[in-house]
Structure 1
């Protein structure tokens, strides 16, 4: 039997995996469950893993797979799901420009559906770099990674400021195009209409705080009118 907090966390992870194809970060879990520290999330994750509801995938940051759901969430004792976050091995790319709609999906009897997304450029996971403004090439993305609504595009990460969120230099991030985000979301932010960066966003006292996931980088705060949200992180692909 799960406690209420364990059930709430499992439901939150399941909901995010279904919507975005990527599990939430520990910070997002902490905010969703209104906990004061990540240590409480670690305990809940461990309890869910010990009870056989989830599995943490070794050597993959922020990778959680749901193995089964309780009946209250639509599962059964022997049910299992396949919404775990599993990065695909794809070549990283360079790029940059206005987002283009994905092309038609490609399927065969033996391969899953994929979509061609534009790689829009390199995004800074560090200090901001020049704004993205030109598409360089397309990249094939598993359709299951994409949320059902909105246009998507891909970016190549440069820098290490988001490593504690499992985002490394050279990774390809999949972004859903949107101009809104909740506190704690990882977003593409256009700063002062000329620099783009990948950061976690928070609203504080009428300003926008762009927060890194690496203690070596300071949080940068700007007036609201100097930050435009260009999209929200929904997936990640890593080359090995």
Structure 2
């Protein structure tokens, strides 16, 4: 690879972090470690991609791979993916098209597959028995439909986001909590818009968990 001195230094930094931590740092962490701006990190990544040193998979999920050579060579190792935390669900727009990000969280790309993942910050303990706790991030795959019994991120009456287990009945939609202290929520078909399927959870003590902003889910 024909890299400039700055590009080579940045590439070596990424390799070192990958070997030490098992993942490549977020853009924010890289900027802090190197004492440069977030924009400068993004520009260096774009330059490395152009020269075949890294490969970015997906515009929104920000998954990146280090390459051992030109772009046709196999990757050295998959890096962690940076998943945006959605501060608020907007009706009618796919999650990955929204700009209301509330920070981001870095997750293991081997554990969280799928395209355009997003995260919702959970408030309350209504899904406690499903292992989704107050303050956690629910990692979701964008989807506008749900199978019976799936845990989904749903928009209620075009304004309130919630994470619940989905059931379609003959006369409407039921959203079930996973905590006996909370009632089953029942709505008409037009009142519920499924926005994503929950594919995993990041605990609030995760080292890359973002604590800025407010939750997109109200306590229910």
Q: TM-score, normalised by structure 1?
A: 0.50
Residue from 61, 76, 82 that aligns with 1:116: 82
Matched, 1:147 2:113: yes
Would you say the 8 A contact 1:209–1:219 is kept in 2?
Answer: yes
Once the two structures are superposed, residues 123-142 of structure 1 have per-residue CA deviations (whole angstroms, 9 ceiling, x without a partner) of 9xxxxxxxx98212122111
User: How many positions carry a matched residue from both structures?
Assistant: 132
Equivalent residue number for residue 130 of structure 2: 165
- Structure 2 gap segments, 5+ residues each: 1-58, 68-74, 90-97, 206-220
CA–CA distance in 2 between the matches of 1:187 and 1:205?
19
Equivalent residue number for residue 222 of structure 1: 187
CA–CA distance in 2 between the matches of 1:105 and 1:186?
28
Matched, 1:204 2:169: yes
What's the secondary structure of 2:110's corresponding residue? helix
Q: TM-score, normalised by structure 2?
A: 0.54
Once the two structures are superposed, residues 39-98 of structure 1 have per-residue CA deviations (whole angstroms, 9 ceiling, x without a partner) of xxxxxxxxxxxxxxxxxxxxxxxxxxxxxxxxxxxxxxxxxxxxxxxxxxxxxxxxxxxx
| Larger Rg belongs to | 2
Shift of 1:117: 1.3
Runs of 4+ in 1 over 6 A off after TM superposition: 108-111
Residue 106 and residue 119 in structure 1: after superposition, are their counterparts in 2 closer, same or farther (change >3 A)?
farther
Would you say the 8 A contact 2:151–2:166 is kept in 1?
Answer: yes
Shift of 1:145: 2.2
CA–CA distance in 2 between the matches of 1:107 and 1:239?
28
Would you say the 8 A contact 1:122–1:156 is kept in 2?
Answer: no
What's the secondary structure of 2:101's corresponding residue? coil
CA–CA distance in 1 between the matches of 2:99 and 2:159?
10
